Amino acid sequence: MIACAPPPVLFQGRRWSADQLAGLTAAWRHILQARWPASPGPLAMVMLNDPQSVALFFALSAFPVPLILLPLDLEPWGNPPLPRDTRLVLTPTLGHLDAEASQLGIAVTVLPDAEAPSPSPSDPPSMAMPGVVVFTSGSTGLPRPVYRSTTGPPGGGGIIATLPLAQMFGLNHGLLAASILGAPLALVRRFDHHVVLGLFASREWRYWAGTPMMADVLSRCPSPGPHPAPPACVIGGHVSADLARRFAERFGVPLRGAYGTTEVGTVTVDAVAAADVDSRTAGRPLPGVDLRVGDDPRRPGPAGTLGRIWLSSPESLMEGYGFPAHLEPPATVDGWWATPDVGHVDPLGRLTLEGRLDDCFRTDAGHVVSPGAVAAALEGYPGLADVAAVALATPAGPVLGVLVESAGRVDAAELRRHLSRSLPSWSQPRVIEATVALPRLSNGRPDRRACIAWLEKSLGARISGDREA
């Protein structure tokens, strides 16, 4: 068993000491041990960014069985079905989910409100679970359960957790990091820039991990001037030059890129000195993780080659998709696992992400075209507020289309000349259109399907016009 205790937590203005959470952990663990004299089957819980979830996580991790972390969204709960002997444990505040879980055939235990006694030195918290099941985000299809054995996370100081603890990035860079390091943890249930800025201003916290959207909101929201921030601000995702500049100007610290997957965990982090951070990259691979780029990991391309990202990490790669003991092992090529992502590595060994493989296409000559690389090449172009670059289907094969958002007139010919100076000929768009407002999803991101429909209609009209001429 691994000695592992809950960290102290700040949540919605209230401080929970490590002893309080350890006491609640022990109370719930004793209740469950009394109900299950023998080792139960797999255990499951709904993982939220709140103190009760933290206590329950450590209570369940004391059992020598896999722990399944479920999101609040019910979709992944039954697709694929949880193992038949799974026991779902709900905190008192989530007891209303009992009916929904029972309809899916899941055995449910709703914990009672419990007093949090002082932890006993003779009963220290320990982690006996062999591993956790965490669901992928579902950005490339339905969420898939991923099983990984329990390992230590990256380090840091006092930590602000704005990422969902039910996903691997949030779990590693939040709860587990704080627990292993014995550092305090600030939990934010839902991202709120007012709350995060207040935590930044307190100067108590030394580490924050977030998304580009979170960093963008923090850098744009009204503020009287420069604002303090944790010394280490880590972002999972593409960071534009404009965002990196705005964040550094306001907070005085750089945005450090990071890359990871649910299947492997954290892969790269830009851990160089602040003056040497390049926010356009995701940094170098962590110790124990090897990375290659190309069609075949046994024949990787030279530095700068755009291609699929392959990973080799015997100690970190998941055991498989699904639930123990019915796992689908990861498909590998001589020990290399193929990620769904595309990027390139520079001569210094730093990874730059260029998008998802299913967003890219290959030309007849075999060149990989990344819409993400084209959109990145237009970032910061005068007059452009946003860019959507997408693959368009034509009878002759896929071509590239670009839809830009601008309040003024856009010269498509000048945009083409700009792109020709930084991108190869095979990455040039077939069609460029402009609009005052990109079609967007409810989360504010460009609606790719709507952009594709718009550009395919425009391209079709041009092709028809050329034929008539």
- Listing DSSP states for 37-85 in one string gives SS--S-EEEE--SSHHHHHHHHHHTTSSS-EEEE-SSSGGGBTTBPPTT
Per-residue pLDDT of 28-56, as tens digits, reads 999 999 988 777 889 999 999 999 999 99
CA distances for 455 relative to 283, 416, 438, 451, angstroms: 35, 16, 12, 6
Question: Which residues have CB under 8 Å from 198's CB, separation 6+?
Answer: none
What's residue 153's pLDDT? 39
Residue 432 contacts by C-beta under 8 Å, 6 or more apart in sequence? Answer: 401, 402, 403, 404, 410, 412, 415, 416
Nearest-5° Cα angle at 72, 70 to 78: 55
Stretch among 47-51, 71-75, 154-158, 193-197 having the lowest mean pLDDT: 154-158
CA dihedral 275, 280, 282, 284 (to 10 degrees): -60
What residue segments make up the domains of the chain, in order of their start? 2-355, 360-468
Any residues with CB less than 8 A from the CB of 129 and at least 6 apart, and which? Answer: 60, 61, 62, 63, 64, 65, 66, 67, 150
Average pLDDT over the chain reads: 88
Is the pLDDT at 74 greater than 70, yes or no?
Answer: yes
Q: What is the CATH number of domain 360-468?
A: 3.30.300.30
CA dihedral of 276, 281, 285, 286, whole degrees rounded to 10: 60
Q: Give the model's pLDDT for residue 467.
A: 54
pLDDT band for position 251 (cuts 50, 70, 90)? very high
Q: Which two tokens stand for residue 334?
A: 């001589």
Number of neighbours of residue 362 by Cβ within 10 angstroms? 13
Number of H helices, E strands in the chain: 11, 29
Contact 70, 32 (CB under 8 A): no
Structure tokens at 339: 């990620």
Whether 94 and 159 have beta carbons less than 8 Å apart is answered as: no
Q: Which of 177-181, 188-192, 207-211, 343-347 has the lowest mean pLDDT?
A: 177-181
Q: Which of 172-181, 252-261, 354-363 has the highest mean pLDDT?
A: 252-261
pLDDT number for residue 155? 41
Beta bridge partners of 266: 260
8 A C-beta contact, residue 201 and residue 214: no
121 vs 388, higher pLDDT: 388
Same fold: 2-355 with 360-468 = no
- Residue 358: predicted pLDDT: 81
Hey, which CATH number is domain 2-355, 3.20.20.80, 3.40.50.12780, 3.30.1330.10, 3.20.20.140?
Answer: 3.40.50.12780
